[in-house]
């Protein structure tokens, strides 16, 4: 790319977005070069742009298409797989200025939002109407909905409420050539044509740029009742998870922490946790009243039948929040054990949760590194975290080997290499191993149809071929 052509497309971008909508100072643009993922490739953007409207996004894509400049869509940068990492000399398009909640309809139980709206902002905005937007990624107080849509994010409440795609009724998407596509509908039902909405949710910005979303809402749940139980073995924890599924219970949360995480959190919080427990389960019911009491009583029985060393429950929301603190602080606690983390995101069948946790223990022993496991036991989505010294080449190599071994373990148990974090750069080499050659060929055909020049977020999800 020559200086002359670079100047030409920069001039066109500035004309379309204004001087304050285009940044080129390398000292500033460097802060938009990558997300939260460690050890993923990231380039240096030629420009960082901040569109304020769909028309401006379309203008950016038309400029990029004319000049053959790659475009990387970006939200708040809270991702964990390098999905918004910059491309050398390309355009990084930051969507955070498009941050309006355009509509909240109580009658239709939906909201229309722009991609730069922070997840917590939407939840707060609809609560006044007695409504609730369930998806709750760990970073929900600062991540944006556009990023959640692009990655099909999940969270702690997925066991009952599902992931982002379960709440997307329709989208507005700017395609690679600048055309504006509207998908989906506002109705509860609708099956006209291919389901293009679900095609774009989870596509990680490789097929189009989401500029508006129509999202389904639910009634605000009751304040939760909370249960905590500890176990001497992973197998007992697995028994509880299976029993919850087979009994028909539907807790709003069912989380698990292994011994490594329990001890790390106890060191951080001085919370008098059972440091000898192999696993701790944290569950909630937001059904309210007598139904919640029955659910918690049933969960208590299941934990006791599995041989729990301790079971404690409360219907006091404040005490429940305190009990949840241990789960929410697992990652910060692990961060204190080493200078670097590789956070994984593997989902396995719920019947294999215990086997997976024990397998991660074996990988930790083989690698000589700390591996802590915390996760959403209710849907089998586990987050093993490898802790190591990033400045030590030997530990870095062992950490990457452990990370790969965890992915291999997940696949061997009938699982998937990602339950909610996505593929990005970090796991692109693993995608074919899970999906197979035919599926990957179909993926590439879709990519080629919508983005024939390969300008949208190149190198993410699908490696070049």
CA distance readout (Å), 320 to 289, 313, 424: 16, 8, 35
Whether the pLDDT of residue 42 is over 90: the answer is yes
**Top CATH class, 103-219:** alpha beta
Contacts of residue 2, Cβ cutoff 8 Å, sequence gap at least 6: none
| CATH number, span 225-412 | 3.40.462.40
Contacts of residue 188, Cβ cutoff 8 Å, sequence gap at least 6: none
Using one digit for the tens of pLDDT, what is the confidence trace for 12-36?
999 999 999 999 999 999 999 999 9
Using one digit for the tens of pLDDT, what is the confidence trace for 195-213?
999 999 999 999 999 999 9
Mean pLDDT of the chain: 95
Using one digit for the tens of pLDDT, what is the confidence trace for 262-291?
999 999 999 899 999 999 999 999 999 999
* pLDDT for residue 4: 47
| Band of residue 183 on the pLDDT scale cut at 50, 70, 90 | very high
Assign 291 to helix, strand or coil: helix
| Band of residue 361 on the pLDDT scale cut at 50, 70, 90 | very high
**Top CATH class, 3-94:** alpha beta
Contacts of residue 431, Cβ cutoff 8 Å, sequence gap at least 6: 417, 423, 440, 461, 462
Percent of the chain at pLDDT > 70 equals 98
CA-based nearest residue to 279, from 363, 418, 372, 411: 372
Cα–Cα distance between 40 and 82 in angstroms, integer? 6
Whether the pLDDT of residue 3 is over 60: the answer is no
Which residue ranges make up each domain of the chain? 3-94, 103-219, 225-412
- Do the domains 103-219 and 3-94 match in fold? no
Using one digit for the tens of pLDDT, what is the confidence trace for 77-91?
999 999 999 999 999
Using one digit for the tens of pLDDT, what is the confidence trace for 139-164?
888 999 999 999 999 888 889 999 99
Whether the pLDDT of residue 39 is over 90: the answer is no
């Amino acid at each position: 790319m020559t200086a002359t052509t670079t100047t030409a497309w920069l001039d066109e971008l500035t004309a379309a977005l204004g001087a304050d909508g285009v940044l080129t100072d390398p000292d500033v643009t460097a802060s938009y070069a990558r997300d939260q993922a460690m050890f993923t490739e990231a380039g240096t953007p030629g420009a960082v742009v901040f569109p304020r409207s769909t028309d401006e996004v379309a203008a950016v894509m038309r400029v990029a298409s004319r000049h053959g400049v790659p475009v990387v869509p970006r939200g708040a940068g809270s991702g964990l797989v390098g999905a918004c990492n910059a491309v050398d000399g390309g355009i990084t398009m930051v969507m955070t200025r498009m941050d309006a909640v355009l509509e909240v309809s109580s009658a239709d139980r939906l909201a229309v939002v722009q991609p730069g709206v922070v997840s917590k902002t939407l939840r707060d905005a609809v609560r006044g109407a007695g409504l609730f937007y369930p998806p709750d990624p760990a970073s929900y107080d600062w991540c944006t909905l556009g990023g959640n849509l692009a990655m099909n994010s999940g969270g702690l409440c997925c066991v009952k409420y599902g992931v982002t795609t379960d709440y997307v009724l329709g989208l507005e998407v700017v395609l690679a050539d600048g055309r504006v596509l509207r998908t989906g509908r506002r109705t509860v039902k609708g099956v006209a044509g291919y389901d293009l909405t679900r095609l774009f949710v989870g596509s990680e910005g490789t097929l189009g740029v989401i500029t508006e979303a129509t999202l389904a809402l639910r009634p605000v749940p009751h304040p939760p009742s909370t249960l905590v139980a500890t176990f001497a073995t992973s197998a007992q924890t697995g028994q509880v998870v299976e029993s919850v599924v087979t009994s028909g219970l539907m807790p709003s949360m069912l989380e698990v922490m292994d011994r490594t995480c329990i001890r790390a959190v106890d060191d951080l919080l001085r919370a008098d946790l059972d440091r000898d427990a192999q696993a701790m389960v944290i569950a909630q019911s937001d059904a309210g009243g007598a139904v919640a009491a029955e659910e918690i009583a049933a969960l208590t029985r299941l934990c006791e039948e599995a041989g729990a060393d301790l079971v404690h429950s409360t219907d006091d929301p404040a005490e429940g929040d305190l009990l949840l603190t241990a789960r929410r602080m697992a990652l910060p606690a692990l961060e204190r054990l080493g200078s670097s983390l590789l956070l994984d995101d593997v989902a396995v069948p719920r019947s294999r949760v215990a086997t997976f946790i024990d397998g991660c223990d074996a990988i930790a022993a083989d690698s000589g590194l700390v591996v802590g496991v915390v996760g959403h036991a209710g849907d089998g989505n586990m987050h093993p975290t490898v802790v190591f010294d990033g400045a030590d080449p030997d530990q870095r190599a062992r950490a990457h080997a452990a990370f790969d071994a965890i992915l291999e373990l997940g696949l061997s148990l009938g699982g998937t290499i990602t339950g909610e974090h996505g593929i990005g750069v970090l796991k692109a080499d693993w995608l074919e191993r899970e999906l197979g050659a035919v599926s990957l060929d179909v993926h590439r055909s879709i990519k080629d149809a919508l983005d024939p020049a390969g300008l949208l977020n190149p190198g993410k999800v699908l490696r070049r071929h």
